[in-house]
Amino acid sequence: SQQGEEDPQALSIQEGENATMNCSYKTSINNLQWYRQNSGRGLVHLILIRSNEREKHSGRLRVTLDTSKKSSSLLITASRAADTASYFCATAHFGNEKLTFGTGTRLTIIP
Amino acid sequence: DTGVSQNPRHKITKRGQNVTFRCDPISEHNRLYWYRQTLGQGPEFLTYFQNEAQLEKSRLLSDRFSAERPKGSFSTLEIQRTEQGDSAMYLCASIPFEGEQYFGPGTRLTVT
């Protein structure tokens, strides 16, 4: 079963704009990870944030984590057409590190 | 390319047939995971191995499913007596012990 939900389910923006996706989860976590998936392809790891971290940056990506609200957000700045994909958050559990994925946000960048 | 390979990439089979998928993880990774993803959904955990030991299985893994990881290297996932509901993308991932998971390209199964 899915751990939580992502919001919005779909997002369309103009190239160059910023895209923000949100993720909520239900249980305690070791870390939270964001992945990108192009249609019909495998998952590409974007960024990992640990439960004791609040914010992390990687290139045009910025991730925040609020463990008190059990939520995370992914910000993609200066979007490009190549950013068009589905984005998933996934929470890793202590011990077994298995990932529980959200339902995903389908991002479309309009050139 | 993450370094994790899966074969075959696509499999079409008739209902009732058995299928086997293979995953070759990154060689120094101790943990290997199998996930299943249906259209429009996020991946769901099926099972995982630490070295050759299968440590956890999801209730999604019915008795028609079996997975192995002999000698802690590659892994196989077998589905017996396939059903149309088994149609999905089967994803494999590996990690050293914890951290980001390295996913293979997946095997897309279609049961007709």
Instruction: Supply the pLDDT for residue B91.
Output: 97
Per the CB < 8 Å rule, is B45 touching A90?
Answer: no
Degrees to nearest 5, angle at CA A96 with A94 and A101: 80
Instruction: Supply the pLDDT for residue B97.
Output: 78
For the segment A59-69, what is each residue's pLDDT rounded down to a tens digit?
Answer: 999 999 999 99
Per the CB < 8 Å rule, is B35 touching A48?
Answer: no
For the segment A3-61, what is each residue's pLDDT rounded down to a tens digit?
Answer: 568 889 999 999 999 999 999 999 889 999 999 999 878 899 999 999 999 999 999 99
Residues of chain A with Cβ-Cβ distance to B56 below 8 Å are: 96, 98
Per the CB < 8 Å rule, is A104 touching B42?
Answer: yes
Nearest neighbour of A98 by CB, restricted to B2, B48, B106: B48
Per the CB < 8 Å rule, is B101 touching A33?
Answer: yes
Q: Which tokens hold the place of A96?
A: 């077994």
B91–chain A Cβ distance below 8 A for any pair: yes
For the segment A84-103, what is each residue's pLDDT rounded down to a tens digit?
Answer: 999 999 999 888 789 999 88
Distance from CA of A79 to the nearest CA of B (A): 23
Question: Can you list the positions of beta strands (E) in A1-111?
Answer: 5-7, 10-14, 19-24, 31-37, 43-50, 55-58, 61-66, 71-76, 85-92, 99-101, 105-110
- Residues whose CB is less than 8 angstroms from the CB of residue A17 and which lie 6 or more positions away in sequence, other chains included: A79
Instruction: Supply the pLDDT for residue A39.
Output: 84
